Amino acid sequence: MDAGLYISLAVLVMVIVTIAKGVRLVPQGYKWVVQRLGKYQTTLNPGLNIIVPYIDDVSYKVTTKDIVLDIPSQEVITRDNAVIVANAVAYMNIISPEKAVYGVEDYRIAIQTLVQTTLRSIIGEMALDDALSSRDLIKAKLKDSISDDIADWGIIMKTVEIQDINPSGTMQQAMEEQAAAERGRRATVTRAEGDKQAQILEAEGRLEASRRDAEAQVVLANASKKAIQLVTDAIGDNEMPVVYLLGEKYVDALENLSGSENSKMVVLPADLPAAIKGMMSKA
């Protein structure tokens, strides 16, 4: 009786273990790779799955969710021998788990290395200024180059983003010195150009003033000439009007001279006796 009970219990346990090994519940977001006697047999999708107990074995549990793979920073030499530091992040998805686990030893390390080498190759063909300002172009080339390679592993590249792409420390210092020198050169050129323009404007001003003075002198000379001609025509042979005009000018000049605060001179007519005789004769 006891032996029969033990046998029943053993059979029950065996049945439970067999069912447990034959029934597989795959969670959503995963696929399981099944091997039969060491050889690939099938891929289990999410949900309830039945396998052959003791013969089939779940060898790999692969996620079907998007995988974010960080690409470490690395130094890259551009076409013009400048050193920049670049890193990226890749977003991928496994669509064929059996290819991902059997096609490459470690798909994460493989993709990381592939992205790094491809990134070096793309940036190496570009000049420094182009590399720093063409993230979208680098991203597009990187995705196109990698997608075909990882397709053989049952993986698709959703996208790849360039996180940082900056000159190295020594390169940044050299660029800052170059920029400072360029700003100094532009300031010097601007000052020289300003001085040049100022000198040109000043010379043009002097030239214009001289031209105006010459024109004024010509106008005054023509006016004097015309005035003299008019006076000459008016007086004819009579010299008294001329004497009167000269005397009037002479008196005005004496008044202006006597009105000066610093004047210490006494002006007498050049022919004093004639002047006195004239005054006496008028009296």
CA dihedral 181, 184, 188, 190 (to 10 degrees): 110
For residue 248, the model assigns a pLDDT of: 62
Cα distances (Å, whole numbers) of residue 243 to 162, 232, 235: 103, 13, 11
Q: What is the mean pLDDT of residues 58-76?
A: 91
DSSP state letter for 45: P
Average pLDDT, the chain: 80
Which residues are CB-contacts of 69 (< 8 A; sequence separation ≥ 6)? 89, 90, 91, 92, 108, 111, 112, 115
- H or E, element range at 146: helix 135-151
For residue 213, the model assigns a pLDDT of: 80
16, 78 Cβ separation under 8 angstroms: no
Structural domains of the chain sorted by starting position, each given as residue range(s) with its CATH number in brackets: 2-63 (no CATH), 67-167 (3.30.479.30), 180-263 (no CATH)
Strand partners, 63: 30
**pLDDT for 247-268, tens place per residue?**
666 666 666 666 666 555 555 5
**How does residue 45 score in pLDDT terms, banded at 50, 70 and 90?**
very high
Q: Is the predicted pLDDT of residue 8 greater than 60, yes or no?
A: yes
91, 159 Cβ separation under 8 angstroms: yes
Q: Is the predicted pLDDT of residue 96 greater than 80, yes or no?
A: yes
Q: What is the mean pLDDT of residues 19-33?
A: 90
Is residue 147 classed as helix, strand or coil in its secondary structure? helix
**pLDDT for 161-192, tens place per residue?**
988 888 876 666 666 677 777 778 888 888 88
Q: What is the mean pLDDT of residues 47-72?
A: 91
Q: What is the mean pLDDT of residues 107-123?
A: 92
